[in-house]
Structure 1
């Protein structure tokens, strides 16, 4: 009998400040393209292939900065840049390519074997859109 693991997601500050409750056995899997040293120290592992592609991140960040100069607050600029750059569709399409697809399959296998996994990145999704949420939706849909 196979017991399926749980899939959750959170952000780094929530972990650092004990704002999220996860089972003690949960593996914290970072999903950022370029983890900082302090990010790497807070998660059990990082799967860079599941972070957004560098060109998409750069395009979105550039657009976000332009919007901030136009008077948007940080969160509004972030979310508007997502829309302007077609972030969601581009990221979902990226997940179908070889390296991220293989990484997702590895996570699915781990979940199927009973491992509890929490996807972790930087964004607080209460205010900002985040690729981590899209990734979780894709993993949930395939289980």
Structure 2
């Protein structure tokens, strides 16, 4: 799953779930906060994680998954696919293991549903 099919992903990704993207207001707030931390001299990974904490990214994204009707439907569909024995792969653009990622939260949330 990716937000947009670009480059080589066009030939390897079969399904996208836009309802599971980071909500635009949360994403924009995160990006701005991330840039603010970088302007203060933090390295990229540190600024990323500091912004994540400062804006309460985890709680806000999990609220999106549990309260937005389209996100609830998408989670139910993925959960059913897993119950039917399908293997799913979530694709992430984060370039290091040090950065937090909403797909990790999504995976944990879906696992709890199983």
Same fold, TM-score > 0.5, yes or no: yes
Match of 1:72 in 2: 42
Q: Which of the residues 69, 86, 92 maps onto 2:56?
A: 86
Larger strand fraction of residues: 1
Where 1:118 maps in the other structure, the secondary structure is coil
Give the Cα–Cα distance (whole angstroms) in 2 for the partners of residues 93 and 125 of structure 1: 26
Structure 2 unpaired stretches of 5+: none
Q: How many residues align?
A: 112
Q: Which stretches of structure 1, 4 residues or more, deviate above 3 A after TM superposition?
A: none
Q: Calculate the TM-score normalised by the size of structure 1.
A: 0.74
- 1:31–1:50 contact (8 Å) kept in structure 2: no
Where 2:90 maps in the other structure, the secondary structure is strand
Match of 2:23 in 1: 53
Match of 1:129 in 2: 100
Q: Alpha-carbon deviations, 1:49-98, whole Å to 9, x = none? A: 11110110000000000100000000000000000110000000000120
Q: Tell me: higher relative CO, structure 1 or 2? Use CA pairs within 8 A at least 6 residues apart.
A: 1
Larger helix fraction of residues: 2
* Structural RMSD (CA): 1.4
Give the Cα–Cα distance (whole angstroms) in 1 for the partners of residues 105 and 69 of structure 2: 18
Q: Calculate the TM-score normalised by the size of structure 2.
A: 0.91
